[in-house]
């Protein structure tokens, strides 16, 4: 049988889970840091793992007010960063 329970119950099953956890962490941690800087909860990246909910989450972030949309221009913000 090519597809079935036997495929994920062999000696490689734990390896597949470990690789998934590592890649999920490598993807979710930076997304959480970016969203935290935008004022969202750092737990929002979990939505990225749910099909269709990730598209809704992307639209919510895209339509939310961004910190650079305030009264300061980007040039003024950049000059404040440079000192």
The pLDDT score that the predictor gives to residue 80 is 54
How many Å separate Cα 55 from the centre of its chain?
A: 12
Domain parsing of the chain, residue ranges: 5-82
| For range 4-25, the mean pLDDT | 77
Q: What is the mean pLDDT of residues 2-25?
A: 75
Span 16-29, average pLDDT = 88
> 69 vs 17, which has greater pLDDT?
17
CA 73/CA 57 separation, integer angstroms: 27
Residue 29's contacts (CB-CB under 8 Å, 6 or more residues apart) are 45
Give the rounded distance of the alpha carbon of 75 from its chain centre: 28
Tens-place pLDDT, residues 28-77: 898 888 888 888 888 888 888 888 988 998 898 888 887 776 655 555 55
Q: What confidence score (pLDDT) does residue 22 get? A: 92
pLDDT of residue 20: 87
What gap in Å lies between CA 41 and CA 35, rounded to an integer?
Answer: 7
More confident site: 28 or 1? 28
């Amino acid at each position: 049988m090519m597809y079935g329970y036997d495929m994920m119950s062999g000696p490689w099953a734990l390896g597949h889970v470990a690789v998934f956890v590592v890649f999920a962490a490598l993807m979710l941690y930076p997304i959480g840091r970016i969203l935290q800087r935008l004022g969202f909860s750092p737990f929002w990246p979990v939505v990225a793992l749910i099909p269709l909910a990730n598209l809704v989450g992307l639209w919510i972030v895209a339509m939310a007010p961004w910190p650079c949309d305030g009264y300061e221009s980007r040039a003024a913000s950049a000059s404040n960063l440079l000192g």
